[in-house]
């Protein structure tokens, strides 16, 4: 079961009220969306967007079952937020949520190679378009791979891992998660395996971000969100690693400097001890929020 993170805090900062319209840019299993719907019903509407078609199909089935007419779900990339809102005639938007975390359902059930703990095809795409992680590790040159692992995973052994990948793929293609994990283990010292995180963590993160263009999409959606928010509307963003958080922090600061936004979170809000106990996967979540003047 997927547990949404920082739900109480999201509701506090977005402050949804009856009759208002909201957008959840990463609706996922509907965890945050359903809580927001409770606050804005019966007249308010929520537009939910997700790149993962399987998530959208599951949510559509749930909407049909519960007869939830106030929730509209759309399969799409949130970088196209403005276009999606216009196509669905969705106006007077009081709040937008962007949760950059990936679902535990995607880790456990997608079969797309998001986890290094299972042997699955090395895909890592949220949708069925674009380059797979397997295509990336088998096609890109050593420098390109090293740059990806360093830039998107902050992996200090990026060059060594890239070198070993090139050596390994000369013998056979790297097609599964375990294929890649085995190569990574040949590149890192034994002390890496005894560390706080799995030795493949940063490499897998980097490939996932690269394949899905996650940081580029984030940079595109933030200005679109500010454009379509109504005056007084609120924007909340949940990030899960420093690369995302830096982008959000910089954007909010620049938006404030330009005079159009007021920041609601001086520092990022993190999960309570109670939430960390109930959902350890929430440990790296950070929430930042702002409102449009």
Kindly state whether residue 199 falls inside one of the protein's structural domains: yes
Kindly state whether residue 70 falls inside one of the protein's structural domains: yes
pLDDT at 194 over 90: no
Q: Compute the average pLDDT of residues 121-125.
A: 96
* Residue pLDDT, tens place only, 145-164: 999 999 999 999 999 999 99
pLDDT of residue 106: 61
- Work out the number of other CB atoms within 10 angstroms of the CB of residue 166: 16
* Residue pLDDT, tens place only, 21-72: 999 999 988 899 999 999 999 999 999 999 988 889 888 888 877 777 899 9
For the chain, the average pLDDT equals 94
Domain extent at residue 35: 7-105+214-292
pLDDT of residue 73: 95
- Domain check: are 91 and 178 in the same one? no
- Domain check: are 227 and 182 in the same one? no
- Domain check: are 92 and 13 in the same one? yes
CATH of the domain at 227: 3.40.50.150
- Domain check: are 96 and 223 in the same one? yes
β-bridge mates for residue 46, sequence order: 22, 71
- Domain check: are 224 and 280 in the same one? yes
Kindly state whether residue 2 falls inside one of the protein's structural domains: no
- Domain check: are 188 and 274 in the same one? no
Kindly state whether residue 189 falls inside one of the protein's structural domains: yes
- Domain check: are 226 and 92 in the same one? yes
- Domain check: are 204 and 221 in the same one? no
- Domain check: are 113 and 207 in the same one? yes
Kindly state whether residue 229 falls inside one of the protein's structural domains: yes
- Domain check: are 222 and 169 in the same one? no
E strand spans, the chain: 21-24, 46-50, 71-75, 93-99, 229-239, 261-263, 286-292
Task: Give the whole-angstrom CA distance, residue 162 versus residue 165.
Answer: 5
Kindly state whether residue 1 falls inside one of the protein's structural domains: no
Task: Give the whole-angstrom CA distance, residue 157 versus residue 274.
Answer: 35
- Domain end, chosen from 212, 231, 250, is at 212
Least confidently predicted of 14-23, 230-239, 272-281: 272-281
The number of distinct structural domains making up the chain is 2
- Domain check: are 255 and 137 in the same one? no
């Amino acid at each position: 079961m997927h547990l949404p993170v920082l739900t109480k805090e999201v509701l506090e900062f977005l402050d949804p009220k009856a009759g208002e319209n909201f957008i959840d840019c990463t609706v996922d299993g509907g965890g945050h969306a359903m809580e927001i719907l409770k606050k804005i019903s019966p007249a308010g509407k929520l537009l939910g967007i997700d790149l993962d078609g399987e998530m959208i199909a599951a949510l559509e089935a749930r909407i049909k079952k519960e007869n939830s007419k106030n929730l509209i779900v759309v399969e799409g990339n949130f970088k196209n937020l403005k276009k999606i809102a216009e196509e669905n005639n969705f106006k007077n938007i009081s709040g937008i949520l962007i949760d950059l975390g990936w679902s535990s359902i995607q880790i456990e059930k997608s079969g797309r190679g998001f986890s290094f703990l299972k042997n699955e095809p090395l895909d890592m795409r949220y949708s069925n378009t674009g380059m797979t992680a397997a295509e990336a590790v088998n096609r890109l040159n050593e420098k390109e791979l090293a740059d990806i692992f360093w830039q998107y995973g902050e992996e200090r052994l990026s060059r060594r891992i890239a070198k070993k990948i090139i050596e390994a793929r000369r013998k056979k293609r790297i097609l599964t998660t375990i294929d890649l994990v085995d190569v990574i283990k040949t590149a890192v010292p034994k002390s890496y395996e005894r560390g706080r995180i799995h030795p493949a963590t940063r490499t897998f993160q980097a490939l996932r971000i690269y394949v899905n263009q996650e940081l580029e999409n984030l940079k595109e959606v933030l200005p679109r969100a500010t454009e379509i928010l109504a005056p007084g509307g609120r924007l909340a963003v949940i990030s899960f690693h420093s690369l995302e958080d830096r982008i959000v922090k910089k954007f909010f600061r620049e938006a404030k400097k330009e005079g159009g936004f007021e920041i609601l979170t001086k520092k990022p809000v993190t999960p309570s001890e109670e939430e960390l106990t109930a959902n350890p996967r929430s440990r790296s979540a950070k929430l930042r929020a702002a409102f449009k003047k």
